[in-house]
């Protein structure tokens, strides 16, 4: 976003610094010629609005393309950007055609009541009776894939298999969805299964206003008992920026009316719901707190009370890898008993393990359901997950270093050459700054710093950038914009793929100052806040 005047000023300054005629040493003269040509090429591109727009969008490959087949070079920057956006939309549509968006769920129900509610006298004469019996009493598997047919039509194929206590069944469904306009879409569904007959359904979504929408789903389920119709309508409205209100009416097999309010912010998620229906009526309140850490930790709790009894649930979830989230929830209810629910989300796949512990409210079951998962998680995180993620990160960094090794070596050589060429200019700048008691860079380092004791085994990777920074000082000021500092003259990346910082120790008006800034953080010195307290 630099202006033409700023570009010209930077160009003149770098030309003076790297001009070959200023260097008598043959080696320095050769290095100066190479850097001078790079500066001249960059200015030629950036000083022309058309080539600058092409470079901003396509990078170096756009400039090197012969004839520039994609877009005419005579177009204005605005037209070039518009054409690029059109091509991008076409690529997105082609990518949409190839995407299947698979989603799946595997649920395994476990009966572990023998751990806490056991009649020992009944098993005295049974071989192996000293061990509690833990059984898998139900399983459910579902999978769905999407197949875009056109830009507005999508086919969705889904199926599921379920079994419980030796009895089971399955079904398969095909849905055809069409986006009719920017305000809505419609969907036709056809299904069949071995436990139930054919299913025909119609679902319609419509935006009534910018803040309100309605969804209607009607279905006809055919069975040996006849045709069972069903209708569900949901009306939703934005109450404010973070709050949604829902009204739901369901008629058919389980008729009910439900109203709920959901508030979702950056740090919390709150839901309150009330349902009146057959056979279940209930009231539910839930709250989830979102911690602002890199693991995206969340803790949650809910209370649900109705004709079926009362259930209290509490739990937590945390990101354990780039694509995986692990969660555990303890459910305590009357008359449901105590259950532990473990859930793992891996990309678009969900693995769910509900473990039923007791039919009664036993304090021991509640204690172990709460403490057990925490102990196991922290042990696994420390002994398995953390070492695995660290090794994976190292492999990725090593692969990135290998792929960019030649490029980094070239940039390192260019940076070292630039520093040698800066020496005379830097000496003049220092003399001028000393005469006015101005800004003198005493020491400057760029790269990876390790200040945390927990990371003391990691290697510090920094380079000395004292000379390049002093060369950028003008009128006792140093200004760096919000961009990676690896691209500055005399800089290069000493630790590819890792977090970098710039640490500067400088003198201004005879007083020492110090500052450390992140790689992409803007920096302006001198500042009073950087001053080192002589008494400290």
Q: State how far the Cα of 25 lies from the Cα of 344, in Å rounded to an integer.
A: 65
Q: State how far the Cα of 328 lies from the Cα of 351, in Å rounded to an integer.
A: 12
H/E stretch holding 429 reads helix 386-435
Q: Are 153 and 176 in contact (CB under 8 A)?
A: yes
Averaged pLDDT for residues 233-240? 94
Residue 195, pLDDT above cutoff 90: no
What string of H, E and C letters represents the secondary structure of 177-194? EEEEECCEEEEEEEEEEC
Is the backbone of residue 367 left (phi > 0), alpha (psi -120 to 50) or beta?
alpha
Q: What is the tens place of the pLDDT at every residue in 275-315?
A: 998 878 999 999 999 998 888 899 999 999 998 899 999 99
Residue 81, pLDDT above cutoff 80: no
**What confidence category does residue 322 fall into, taking pLDDT thresholds of 50, 70 and 90?**
confident
What CA–CA distances, in Å, run from 308 to 109, 254, 259, 274, 280?
21, 15, 19, 14, 7
Residue 37, pLDDT above cutoff 90: no
The DSSP result for 193-220, as a single string, is ESSS--EEEEEEEEEEETTEEEEEEEEE
pLDDT value for 218: 94
Q: State how far the Cα of 61 lies from the Cα of 173, in Å rounded to an integer.
A: 47
Dihedral sign, CA of 117, 120, 126, 132?
A: positive
H/E stretch holding 434 reads helix 386-435
Q: What is the tens place of the pLDDT at every residue in 515-529?
A: 999 988 889 999 999
- CA-atom Rg of the chain in angstroms: 33
**What confidence category does residue 98 fall into, taking pLDDT thresholds of 50, 70 and 90?**
low
Averaged pLDDT for residues 257-262? 95
Q: Are 492 and 468 in contact (CB under 8 A)?
A: no
Q: Are 316 and 299 in contact (CB under 8 A)?
A: yes
The length of the chain, given as a count of residues: 536
Q: How far apart are the first and last CA of the chain?
A: 41
Q: State how far the Cα of 19 lies from the Cα of 29, in Å rounded to an integer.
A: 8
pLDDT value for 455: 52
pLDDT value for 68: 44
- DSSP E strands in 25-122: the ranges are 103-111
**Topology annotation, domain 4-62:** Helix Hairpins (1.10.287)
Q: What is the tens place of the pLDDT at every residue in 387-446?
A: 888 888 888 878 777 777 777 888 888 888 888 888 888 898 999 999 989 999 999 999
Q: What is the tens place of the pLDDT at every residue in 268-286?
A: 999 999 999 887 899 999 9
Averaged pLDDT for residues 1-27? 82
Other Cβ atoms within 10 Å of 132 Cβ, number: 13
- Report the relative pairing of strands 349-358 and 103-111 from DSSP bridges: parallel
- Taking the model in full, what pTM does it have? 0.62
Residue 45, pLDDT above cutoff 80: yes
Q: What is the tens place of the pLDDT at every residue in 463-521?
A: 999 999 998 888 899 988 888 888 888 898 888 878 889 999 999 998 999 999 998 88
The 3-state DSSP class for residue 373 equals helix
Greater model confidence, 130 or 376: 376
**What confidence category does residue 69 fall into, taking pLDDT thresholds of 50, 70 and 90?**
very low
**Tokens linked to 219:** 């279905």
pLDDT value for 17: 80
263-298 burial string, b = 16+ CB within 10 Å, else e?
beeeeebbbebebebeeebbebebebebeeeeeeeb
Mean pLDDT (the chain, rounded)? 85
User: Is residue 207 reached through a cis peptide bond, with omega within 30 degrees of 0 on the bond before it?
Assistant: no
Cβ neighbors of 308 (< 8 A, separation 6 or more) are 280, 282
- DSSP E strands in 278-368: the ranges are 282-290, 298-306, 309-319, 324-334, 337-346, 349-358
**What confidence category does residue 161 fall into, taking pLDDT thresholds of 50, 70 and 90?**
very high
- Sorted by where each begins, the domain ranges of the chain are 4-62, 257-361, 404-530
pLDDT value for 63: 67
């Amino acid at each position: 976003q630099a202006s033409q005047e700023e570009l010209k000023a930077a160009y003149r300054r770098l030309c003076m610094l790297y001009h070959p005629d200023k260097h008598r040493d043959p080696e320095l003269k050769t290095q100066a010629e190479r850097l001078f040509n790079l500066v001249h090429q960059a200015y030629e591109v950036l000083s022309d609005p058309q080539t600058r727009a092409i470079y901003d969008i396509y990078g170096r490959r756009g400039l090197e393309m012969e004839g520039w087949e994609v877009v005419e070079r005579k177009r204005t920057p605005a037209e070039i950007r518009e054409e690029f956006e059109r091509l991008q939309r076409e690529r997105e549509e082609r990518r949409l055609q190839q995407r299947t968006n698979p989603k799946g769920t595997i649920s395994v129900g476990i009966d572990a009541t023998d751990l806490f509610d056991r009649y020992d006298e009944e098993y005295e004469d049974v071989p192996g009776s000293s061990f509690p019996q833990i059984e898998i009493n139900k399983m459910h598997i579902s999978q769905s894939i999407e197949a875009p047919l056109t830009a507005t039509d999508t086919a969705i194929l889904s199926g599921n298999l379920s079994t419980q206590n030796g009895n089971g069944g399955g079904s398969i469904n095909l849905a055809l969805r069409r986006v009719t306009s920017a305000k809505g879409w419609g969907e036709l569904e056809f299904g069949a299964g071995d436990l139930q007959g054919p299913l025909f359904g119609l679902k319609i979504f419509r935006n009534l206003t910018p803040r309100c929408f309605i969804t209607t789903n009607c279905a006809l389920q055919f069975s040996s008992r006849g045709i069972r119709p069903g209708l569900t309508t949901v009306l939703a409205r934005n109450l404010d920026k973070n709050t949604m209100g829902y009204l739901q009416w369901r008629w058919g097999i389980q008729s009910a009316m439900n109203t709920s309010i959901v508030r979702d912010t950056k740090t919390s998620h709150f839901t309150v719901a009330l349902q009146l229906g057959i056979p279940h009526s209930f009231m539910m309140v839930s709250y989830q707190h979102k911690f602002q850490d890199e693991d995206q930790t969340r803790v949650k709790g809910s209370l649900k009370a109705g004709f079926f009894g009362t259930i209290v649930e509490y739990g937590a979830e945390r990101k354990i890898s780039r694509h995986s989230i692990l969660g555990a929830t303890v459910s305590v209810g009357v008359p449901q008993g105590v259950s532990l629910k473990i859930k793992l989300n891996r990309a678009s796949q969900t693995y769910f393990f509900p473990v039923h512990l007791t039919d009664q409210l036993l304090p021991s079951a509640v204690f172990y359901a709460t403490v057990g998962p925490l102990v196991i998680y922290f042990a696994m995180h420390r002994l398995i997950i953390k070492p695995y993620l660290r090794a994976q990160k190292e492999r990725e960094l090593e692969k990135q270093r290998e792929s960019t090794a030649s490029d980094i070596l070239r940039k390192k050589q260019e940076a070292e050459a630039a520093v040698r060429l800066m020496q005379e200019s830097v000496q003049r700048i220092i003399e001028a700054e000393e005469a006015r008691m101005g800004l003198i860079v005493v020491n400057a380092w760029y790269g990876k710093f390790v200040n945390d004791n927990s990371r003391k085994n990691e290697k510090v990777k920094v380079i000395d950038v004292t000379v390049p920074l002093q060369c950028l000082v003008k009128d006792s000021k140093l200004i760096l914009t919000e961009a990676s500092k690896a691209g500055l003259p005399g800089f290069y990346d000493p630790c590819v793929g890792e977090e970098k910082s710039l640490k500067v120790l400088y003198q201004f008006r005879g007083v020492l100052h110090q500052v450390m800034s992140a790689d992409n953080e803007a920096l302006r010195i001198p500042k009073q806040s950087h001053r080192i307290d002589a008494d400290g």
